[in-house]
Amino acid sequence: MNDISLQKLVQRISQDDFRKPFLHKALFNTRLQTTGGRYLLKSHDIEVNPKYVEKFGHDELVGIIKHELCHYHLHLEGRGYRHRDRDFRVLMQKVGAPRFCSRIPQSYLVYRCQQCDARYRRRKRMDVARYVCGACKGKLIFFEKIVD
């Protein structure tokens, strides 16, 4: 799927489910890391994380679009568009938009102290020659990789 077909899908969902036109841009943003999509307040554009489409499929994409369109239409109408606002929650329930998108599993690296057996979880690899255990100053070694 490309940006043009995403734009058409967002326009169709907006018209079918919200009965209002979507007049701005819908784009894929590969730099999004922790979220399925976002609505930009200043430009009124919607950005979608393509990793979620690849991992979870078309239904997840439609859910993300509906969620972001709830932000979009409520913001343009001057009503409560934030997650905590009643208007937002009511509209999400009306159109069947999910509150959260599915979670992509994260991988962690576990390091272990050779002296006291303390464990440290890290997302990024670390140089065990430069760091020591915070509890006993012992030597750290790579222990295992965990996928949550």
Pairing of strands 107-113, 140-147: antiparallel
75 burial via Cβ count (<10 Å: 0-12, 13-18, 19+): middle
Q: How far is Cα 12 from Cα 26, in angstroms, rounded to an integer?
A: 12
- Catalytic residue numbers read 68
Q: How many CB atoms neighbour CB 35 within 10 A? A: 14
